[in-house]
Structures are given as structure tokens and as C-alpha cells.
Amino acid sequence: MTGVPASAPTPDPAPALDPGDRPAPGYEVLGHLARTGWLDVYDAWSEDRACRCVLKTVRPDRRDEAPLRGRLLREGRWLCAFTHPHLVRGYDVIRTPDALVVLETLTGETLAHLLHRLRRRPAATDVALLGVQLCSAIHYLHGRGLLHLDLKPSNVVVERGHAKVLDLSVARPPGPAPPGLGTPAHLSPEQARGGELSAAADVWGIGGTLYETAAGEPPFGRWTATGPDAVAGAGAGVGPSAGPGGRAGAAGGASARGTDTPYPDGPAPPLSARRRLPRALADAVDACLSPDPRRRPTVPELAAALGAVAHRP
């Protein structure tokens, strides 16, 4: 019989740590939570705090890439220095033997996973309250000279109505930025094309997250980094300090100038076309998604508009 023999499975070039391993003094791995393109995320035990925690570290096969190490350590320093009720808390930053960031364990679930699991879409007041909390966290970051630039349902953990924002790995001060910075399906127009970024980019992120929360799909449907790609439902992922989270991408789009990241042409469909909601809420979300950053509300203006809906009798 002739034919080409079946190839053996390609071994993982970077096996994850096993339960019981100690990547740094005082920390014991309990389990492997997730692997991204450059990170490993672990459930761990902190002997000093006598509690569980989350460890983020650069994957073993990419540890010789200095920019990734610097990116992780920078995020860790920020999260350890910041204190806000709607922002994940950092416990520790370890530089040797390998770069390691220690975060609090969050017991809720990512908003992406929650939206995928729920049979009914959240009430309008819950959408508005979520928006108020996101505005609070983003206002805090802006006050410290940072833009988040990656707000999306998989970077928000919710527990009993209390939201926390995750992941400052692409955060940076306002100013010029390369095209495509962030997650392709969640980029503001100015992030997609590159150039000057301001607080308005995060207002877009808040609006996109609220739109998906209210309507059940992103503003432009589901699209991916390589073009239109219809998706049946959210896929599984894991946030840096929470359990499973869904991600979704898609509808047709044109490539942004200077990058191969596709970007939908024209404004997003009005939220009211996807779901009946109080006009004040739908108008606030739509305003966040204006293609012109100058026409979006400021974070305080958005918080006030959403707060009026959230606290309506």
C-alpha cells in the first residue's frame, strides 16, 4: 500500500507549568488558566497573603523578547500602584527569575461569557449601571495619564452587578500610536488607522461594550482581523483574573489606512434598530460610536447621561 505516512503531532514548544510548581518564592501554581499569543495565566496560591491569586507571565518560548517582558512589567507596576473599585488590583511584580505579575483573583465571570450564557438581554437600567462603572474606571485611568485602548466584554469581569476592568497591556498615554493598536473587532476608527489617540478612543470602547451588552452583538456585527467572518456564537477565552470569557468578532469592512486590519465603512446601525430601549440610553451609546472623535461625549458627560437612566425610578 502506498501513501504518505501520517505526521506525528507537533509537540508544544512551550509547556505550561504544572500544579505544584513554584515560579517565584512564595507562589505555588494551582492550575493553568489560559495561554495567549505571548502570555501564560495561572491560578496560584500566595503564601504571604494566604489566599489564591492570578499569575501572568510571558510564555517560555517568548521570554527572550524584551518588549514583551517590558510590557508585562509595566502593566504590573500600574496595577499595583492604582486603587479603584472597578479596576482589577495588582499585588506584586517580580522581575526574576522570570517576569511575573500577581493579580487578585476575581470570582465573577467575564461580561463576554455572561452575555453568551444569559437567555435574556440585560435590563436597560443594568446596561446603564454597567456604563457608569466603566466610566468611573476609565475616568480614573485618564486622570493618571493613561488610555486603556482595549475595552471589550472579555476585559470586564462582573459579579453581582459589580464590574471590574482588566488588562492594561496596550494602555498608553494620549498621543500618536501605530495603526491597529488593540483588539481588531473593538478598535475605534482612529485606532484602526493610526495617529493621534485621545480619551475619545476609550469612549468608543465604552460605547461598543454597552452596545454589545444591550443588543447581543457588536456594533458592526461580527468581524475578524482578516475580513468578514460570520460567527455562530462567542468563543471561549479567559481573562487575566477570572474564569471563561467569550470573544466575538464581524461584518464586512474596508482595510484601515496603513494596516491590514479591516474596518467597517460608515457609522454603526443605531442601537434602537437592534432593541427597544429608553431613548436617553440608546442616544448615549450611539453618541459614543460617532466616527468623529470630536463628536463623542466626554467621559463625565457620558457618566451623567447613563447615571440618569440607571437611577431612574
CB contact at 8 A, 69 and 58: yes
Number of residues assigned to the chain:
313
**pLDDT digits over 59-118, tens only?**
999 998 999 999 999 999 999 999 999 999 999 999 988 999 999 999 899 999 999 998
Q: pLDDT category, 12, cuts 50, 70, 90?
A: low
CB 266 within 8 A of CB 276: no
- Looking at every residue in the chain, the average pLDDT score rounds to 85
Rounded Cα gap, residues 23 and 155, in angstroms: 25
- Residue 130's nearest CA partner among 297, 285, 291, 313 is 285
Q: What digits encode the pLDDT tens for the residues 204-242?
A: 999 999 999 999 989 987 654 443 332 222 222 333 434
User: What digits encode the pLDDT tens for the residues 148-205?
Assistant: 999 999 999 999 999 999 999 999 999 999 999 998 889 999 999 998 999 999 999 9
The answer to whether the CB of 106 falls within 8 A of the CB of 293 is: no
Strand order in the sheet with 162-165: 109-110, 156-159, 162-165
How confident is the model at residue 11, as a pLDDT? 52
In the chain, what are the domains? 27-104 (3.30.200.20), 109-310 (1.10.510.10)
